Amino acid sequence: MSPQIINTGLYPVDNLSSADARTWVAQLRARLEHDGSCTLPNFVTAQALAKMVRQAHSIAHLAYPGPTEVSPYFFNYRLGNACDVPATHPLRRKGRRNLAQVAADLIPPEFLLSQLYRSDLMLDFLAAITGKPVYRNQDPYQSLNISFMNQGGCQQWHFDSGTMVTTLLLQEPEAGGIFEYAPAIRSEANENFDAVQAVLDDNSDRVRQNHLQAGTLSLFRGHYSLHRVTEVEGSRQRVQAILGYSTRPGLIGNKESSILHYGPRVAEIEAKTPLYPE
Ligand SMILES: [Fe+2]
């Protein structure tokens, strides 16, 4: 029998209309507004977490390392070389990326993580916090990922494409692997390149840290908040699930980006039986 996944004793996501839940959701929304992030330790039960970790490790061999130097703006691979801006400009900067990810199409639907991602409880919970309908990303490869970082693993400063990407830390490293972010550094109206450049130059007072424990769900405005993971120290892997949600319906990523991040097999699939819509 599958264990209960969400720790509803701590977090009443199954009863959002109760007075207690409404107060709690309002607090989360305020924290997200104020801090650009909020974390929910022990969001999944200990039994579910243990099983999720076992299941993640069982498909770790399917993880693809992807690019090792990446722009904060994933989709600007060509722009980074071609645009008429100085080499110090954020559009032309690349940071070191050292991790491997299992793409969504390789994560079995019966895995607890898939069940959590596909649960309407998650959509309803995130919608209650944002005050808007929330949708699962429709990208066949990017919607749900498991990321593995070995010793020395890290992720460069970047923005997410989705507006409500959430992460669930499955296994924490012995040290390092800290989530750092600059909340609300850009908006739809303003890319704020000067402030982004200051962060990339390690010369900004906007940067905050979240020290996450395994089992913590992290809500985060990664589309507007620049973020990274610092270098993992020690031999225990950092294992994290990335759950792609968005307040925009039908969000689909870029095929070129998926080939880069998940490997040439994506190009082969797309040539034969495409998962991306025409
Ligand atoms: Fe991200």
What's the pLDDT tens digit per position in 79-126?
Answer: 555 567 888 889 889 999 999 999 999 999 999 999 999 999 999 999
Whether 258 is in a domain gets the answer yes
Mean pLDDT of 210-225: 94
The model's pTM is 0.94
What range defines the domain where residue 214 resides? 38-264
User: Does residue 239 carry a pLDDT above 60?
Assistant: yes
Residue with tokens 């906007």: 206
Whether 89 is in a domain gets the answer yes
Task: Give 1 Cα–ligand 1 centroid separation in angstroms.
Answer: 33
User: Does residue 3 carry a pLDDT above 90?
Assistant: no
Q: Enumerate residues with CB within 5 Å of ligand 1 (an ion).
A: 160, 222
Whether 11 is in a domain gets the answer no
Whether 159 is in a domain gets the answer yes
Please report the pLDDT score of residue 206 as a whole number: 96
Task: Give 160 Cα–ligand 1 centroid separation in angstroms.
Answer: 5
Whether 22 is in a domain gets the answer no
The conformation of residue 83, written as its DSSP 8-state character, comes to: S
- Structural contact between residues 216 and 41, judged by C-beta atoms closer than 8 angstroms: yes
Whether 190 is in a domain gets the answer yes
**CATH number of domain containing 165:** 2.60.120.620
Low-confidence winner among 197-206, 233-242, 245-254, 257-266 (lowest mean pLDDT): 245-254
The conformation of residue 14, written as its DSSP 8-state character, comes to: T
Would you tell me how many other CB atoms lie within 10 Å of the CB of residue 130? 17
Task: Give 18 Cα–ligand 1 centroid separation in angstroms.
Answer: 32
Whether 105 is in a domain gets the answer yes
User: Does residue 76 carry a pLDDT above 80?
Assistant: no
Whether 278 is in a domain gets the answer no
Task: Give 217 Cα–ligand 1 centroid separation in angstroms.
Answer: 14
- Number of domains within the chain: 1
Task: Give 222 Cα–ligand 1 centroid separation in angstroms.
Answer: 6
